[in-house]
Amino acid sequence: MKKHVFSGSVFEEKYGHSRAVVAGDTIYVSGTTGYDYATGALPEEAAEQTRQTFRNIEAALHQAGASLHDLVQIVTYFTDPDDWDAIGAILRDELQGIHPANSGVRVALIDPAMKVEISAIAVRSA
């Protein structure tokens, strides 16, 4: 059984993907940025984008019947290596006690204002 989770992002409709896909007890969360869907804003600072990214991932996991505590792997995409310490501090705060596997990959993102994007895999009751 497969379930799709949507956030209402314009990218989901425009490019035909889901915020997350649930397959059994595993949840695959698409690359997620710090765009705040409630306010329509993207924070300027990398740290705040990272914090909001986790709120967006958390919302998708909640819709899938899971939480951040179920994370087993994330991939953190970032645009500027000078932001890595600020991003890493938020990763530490958000993931304390969870400790999923993580890869950090320097990239160019679709919108130059986006400084971080995170994809995730969670297993319910992991």
- Summarised one tens digit per residue, pLDDT across range 6-22 is 887 777 788 888 899 99
Q: How many domains, the chain?
A: 1
Residue-wise pLDDT tens digits, 79-93: 999 999 999 999 999
Beta strands in 1-126 (DSSP E): 2-5, 20-23, 26-33, 71-78, 101-106, 116-123
Beta-carbon count within 10 A of 22 CB: 22
Residue 42 domain boundaries:
2-123
The CATH number covering residue 7 comes to 3.30.1330.40
Q: Which helix (H) or strand (E) holds 84?
A: helix 84-95
Residue ranges, the chain, pLDDT below 50? none
Report the predicted TM-score, pTM, of the whole model to 2 decimal places: 0.94
